[in-house]
Structure 1
Amino acid sequence: MFRTIFIGLWACVATLGATYGGAYWRMHQNTAPAAEHAEKLDVRKLKPITVPVIADGVLRGYVSAEFSMVGPQADKHEHTLDPESFFLDEAFRVIYSESKIDFSDIQKADLSALTSQITANVNQRMGKNVVKETLVRNFTFVPREDMPR
Structure 2
Amino acid sequence: MIRIAIIGLWICGVALGSLYFAVWQNSATASVAPKTGEVVLDDGKTDVFSVPVIIDNAVHGYVVTQFAYTLDKSVKASVTVPVSYFINDEIFSQFYGQYSDVKDVQQVKFDDVKKSIIDRVNAHFPQPLLKDLLVEQFNYISSKEIRNQNTKGLERP
Same fold per TM (> 0.5)? Answer: yes
Coordinate RMSD, CA, aligned: 2.6
Q: State yes or no: 1:65 paired with 2:65.
A: yes
Q: Is the 8 A contact 1:104 1:141 kept in 2?
A: no
Q: CA deviation at 1:105?
A: 5.0
1: CA distance, partners of 2:125 / 2:77 = 19
Q: CA deviation at 1:58?
A: 1.4
Q: When the two structures are superposed, what TM-score results if normalisation uses the length of structure 1?
A: 0.66
Structure whose alpha-carbon radius of gyration is higher: 1
5+ unaligned residues in a row in structure 2: which ranges? 1-34, 151-157
Which residue of the partner structure matches residue 45 of structure 2? 45
Q: When the two structures are superposed, what TM-score results if normalisation uses the length of structure 2?
A: 0.63
Which residue of the partner structure matches residue 111 of structure 1? 110
Q: Is the 8 A contact 1:83 1:126 kept in 2?
A: no
Structure 1 residues 126, 49: CA separation in 2 closer, same or farther (over 3 Å shift)? farther
Q: CA deviation at 1:103?
A: 5.4
Q: CA deviation at 1:104?
A: 6.0
**CA deviation string 1:42-72 (max 9, x = no partner):** 1211211111110121111011000111111
Which residue of the partner structure matches residue 120 of structure 1? 119
Deviates more, 1:67-76 or 1:43-52: 67-76
Q: CA deviation at 1:81?
A: 2.2
Q: CA deviation at 1:40?
A: 0.6
